[in-house]
A and B are shown apart, each in its own frame.
Chain A
């Protein structure tokens, strides 16, 4: 499923991590009401979204001509 092109593969990886993070956050918003929902939203969802964004930014930097 992952592309053979390094840049595209990094973008795919970033997208998958972001989708997981956003799914976690959406579930917390729909189902969570208490402190546990908040913790999962911030710690797990937030972490996955941040990692996804960082992977995207790294892929941009790595694609720059040296």
Chain B
């Protein structure tokens, strides 16, 4: 019994140590700051009489107001940054088919081709295409994300195949990377009609009108899937 308890304790310790080892430096910094703040708050909780002195009052102000606000701000920034990750987007069950569509073994599937060939950073694949590259676009994307989470946890989320974009996909998001790229500017199809490139750049002709298969979640059952890099 005693040994089993110790084994569980050791397992928990190694689990925590493993988690700490895999954390980014910024997260370690924020967690350390939170830990330090908790220790200082404990001084006020267990020895409240220290607040009778001038130094104690300053300590109370620091650890009961300033440091918690700093911790929450830094932690919040870290969490917001984490919300840009592919893993974060796919953590909602409803997004699973979209995640699966990134592994479709068909180069005509736009999202899959971008993901598998690292044309977008694989760990921020969703955000890279679905953010908005206009002014305050990142902020707008994050507010939309908060709205999605609210609907997912407190509302009635639609079926995966019924999910639609708020507005038609703007070429600006594609041109953020493709504008100026040789394959785009000098591509045979893009230059066949001299009016096409200016129309694409002015968002008068949508990129999606030709590259129409993006996330085809309705036909996933008929697709073959890439197993991923070894």
Q: Which residues of A contact B (CB under 8 A)?
A: 3, 5, 7-9, 11-12, 14-16, 18-19, 21-23, 25-26, 28-39, 41-42, 45-46, 49, 52-53, 56-57
Contact = CB atoms under 8 A, between A and B. Distances in A.
Contacts of A45: 72, 75
Contacts, number: 112
9 nearest interchain CB pairs?
A34-B91, A8-B48, A15-B45, A56-B64, A26-B34, A15-B41, A15-B44, A3-B48, A22-B34
Interface string B21-41: 001000100110011011001
B178 interface: no
Interface string B81-98: 011010110011000000
B213 interface: no
Contacts of A46: 72, 76
A42 B79 contact: yes
Interface residues of B, number: 40
B123 to A, nearest CB: 12
Contacts of B71: 22, 25, 49
Nearest to B56: A11
A42 B60 CA distance: 24
7 contacts: A15-B44, A16-B45, A18-B64, A29-B30, A30-B16, A33-B87, A33-B91
Contact of B91 (A26, A36, A49, A52): A36
Interface of B: 16, 19-20, 23, 27, 30-31, 34-35, 37-38, 41-42, 44-45, 48-49, 51, 60, 63-65, 68-69, 71-72, 75-76, 78-79, 82-83, 85, 87-88, 91-92, 149, 152-153
Given A26-B35, A33-B91, 6 more contacts: A33-B85, A33-B88, A39-B149, A49-B68, A49-B72, A56-B64
A34 B87 contact: yes
A26 B42 CA distance: 16
A26 B30 CA distance: 8
B79 A18 contact: no
Contacts of B42: 15, 19
A16 to B, nearest CB: 6
Contacts of B76: 41-42, 46
Contacts of A3: 48-49
A25 B48 contact: no
